[in-house]
Chain A
């Protein structure tokens, strides 16, 4: 079983290498985003030392790492699933002896690793040359960040699987997938750290899984919170992973019986 998933990850890797231009343009887009947020936050801070519990240095580190984390956890498997359902390619997936959703997850993981190695890692190195940037100082802090990032990937992928599965019932749900993307970027703390939201919004977002996708790993990386709080966050992430599995199972069950292969 493990061998299959390694192969899937490898294949996704090769596929991404086949489209190098996409890869270069991706780097530019991320660089522009990070640069823009860096100057924006510089202006917002002005002369102040601390805002929302973060210093200027922590804030720049947060912005950079938030985008770099996104490079790892972000994927388009819901769009891919939608396309496969729309074009009837899902038939090919169903004649293979594997679980469609696990395979999609493995592909997403291959994509994540690709972007982390060729994209986030060199990117963060480049950024650290230009802006003052602090890496976690202890191996423990690195470990917590990577663990939390892994959970972030799983949760984001689960949400993608959910929206992707909806296509089995609606055949077209581009709008929903786009909305989901914006909601995830906003509520996960990519655009604005969660501690900057008003109190009531923070309480509300405590009941939603989105901040586990970006805010948790990024804030752990900056070292702005004590280790005990960091472990608590990782615990929350684990709970969310388990909770979101339930609707996925239910939907997948029903999707298989309802499947319609379109186009002959």
Chain B
């Protein structure tokens, strides 16, 4: 559905000289610096996938989204989405996508969302009867019926954001882009929007791409994650794999009924590459690095060999992982 090959975007940024003299010289000759915002990005997405693009501020996420939505022209590489080249066939292409910018509103500030919806329906030439049924469903599922006829400027951020999502979906696009959709929202609203998106992906098989800084968004919604850093794609894969790659492993804390030493546990587990940490005479922790393969074995073996009163699995949270990625130098990461 989405094909991106060697995508590049360079910006020429004017370097202002310092001071009054510098400003005067700037009038006549300007110095520019070329910045690569997106550098050799390649990935492909299947229909019905739901995935997240994450990265620090300035990693190139928004630039990428803007190129994918046909707003910006790439400096190099190619994009094909739904069979369209966004920059060349913009007007046809944008009919098949919906976009929500968390930082920008696409509703008319002085009018009610309902008026905006009405206008958008004629923008996208939505079929009257079918369109109304779909809109009714959006209004119900996003729970915006009670304020949809108030002017947008009188809505709270959470209310407005839900209306924004409805506005982006008015023409039932096959592909939905969300650029930081949950910025500044409270937990309940976030949850409502997530539930709605998941439902949409289930029932309508809609492909959804979101960029976010909120790790809970990713955990709640996406299986697949793309991580960008300094314009480059540094990870593309499942969330689980991301955890294994950058997580600090998984810890299992066992509470034993009898006194058990670390050596006893080691003999049971055999050669398994893991770390055993002793807490006290009755409690031991086992730390494994690749949880998917090793966790079942550790659990079943230990449970079978000892009397266990309690087990706690402590997985590295995605938040920790993201922090890990962001704080690691990109060079190390891309070779690690």
Contacts and interface: CB of A to CB of B under 8 A. Distances in A.
A95 B71 CA distance: 7
B119 interface: yes
Interface string B66-105: 1001111100000000000000001110110101010111
Q: Number of contact residues on A: which range applies? A: 20 to 34
Contacts of B123: 4, 7, 96-98
A18 B110 CA distance: 7
Nearest to B107: A92
A92 B95 contact: no
B122 A91 contact: no
Interface string B182-218: 0000000000000000000000000000000000000
B33 to A, nearest CB: 15
A91 to B, nearest CB: 5
B111 interface: yes
Interface string B116-127: 001100111100
A239 B151 CA distance: 43
Nearest to B98: A95
Interface in A65-111: 88-89, 91-92, 94-99
Contact of B104 (A14, A19, A88, A97): A88
Contact of B11 (A3, A6, A94, A260): A260
Contacts of A97: 91-92, 94-95, 123-124
Interface string A28-56: 00000000000000000000000000000
B72 A15 contact: no
A11 B109 CA distance: 11
B106 interface: yes
Given A14-B111, A89-B104, A264-B62, A95 B70 contact: yes
For A6, A97, A257, the residue with the greatest tally of chain B CB atoms inside 10 Å of its CB is: A97
Contact of A11 (B71, B104, B108, B151): B108
A91 B71 contact: yes
A259 B115 CA distance: 29
Nearest to B65: A91
Nearest to A94: B71
A96 B99 CA distance: 9
Contacts of A4: 122-123, 125
Interface string A9-29: 001001100110000000000
A94 B70 contact: yes
B72 A259 contact: yes
A203 interface: no
A7 B104 contact: no
Contact of B97 (A95, A98, A260): A95
B151 A18 contact: yes
Interface string A243-264: 0000000000000111111011
A256 B86 CA distance: 12
B125 to A, nearest CB: 8
A92 B106 contact: yes
B144 to A, nearest CB: 20
Contact of A264 (B70, B91, B103, B125): B103
A77 to B, nearest CB: 16
B71 A96 contact: no
Contacts of B99: 95
Contacts of A149: none
Interface string A214-255: 000000000000000000000000000000000000000000
A3 B125 CA distance: 9
Nearest to B57: A264
A264 B57 CA distance: 9
A8 interface: yes
B71 A7 contact: no
Contacts of B97: 95
B76 to A, nearest CB: 13
Interface in A151-174: none
A14 B116 CA distance: 11
Interface in B146-194: 151
For B62, B111, B123, the residue with the greatest tally of chain A CB atoms inside 10 Å of its CB is: B123
Nearest to B112: A14
Contact of B118 (A7, A92, A256): A7
A91 B101 contact: yes
Nearest to B90: A94
A261 B72 contact: yes
A14 B124 CA distance: 21
A98 B103 CA distance: 22
Q: Which 8 A-B pairs have the closest CB atoms?
A: A18-B110, A94-B71, A7-B122, A4-B122, A95-B99, A92-B106, A97-B95, A97-B91
Interface of B: 11, 62, 66, 69-73, 90-92, 94-95, 97, 99, 101, 103-106, 108, 110-111, 115, 118-119, 122-125, 151
6 contacts: A4-B122, A11-B111, A15-B110, A95-B69, A95-B94, A256-B90
Interface of A: 3-4, 6-8, 11, 14-15, 18-19, 88-89, 91-92, 94-99, 256-261, 263-264
Given A95-B106, A259-B73, A264-B62, 18 more contacts: A4-B123, A4-B125, A7-B118, A7-B123, A11-B111, A11-B115, A15-B108, A15-B110, A18-B151, A88-B104, A94-B70, A95-B69, A95-B71, A95-B94, A96-B123, A97-B95, A256-B73, A258-B73
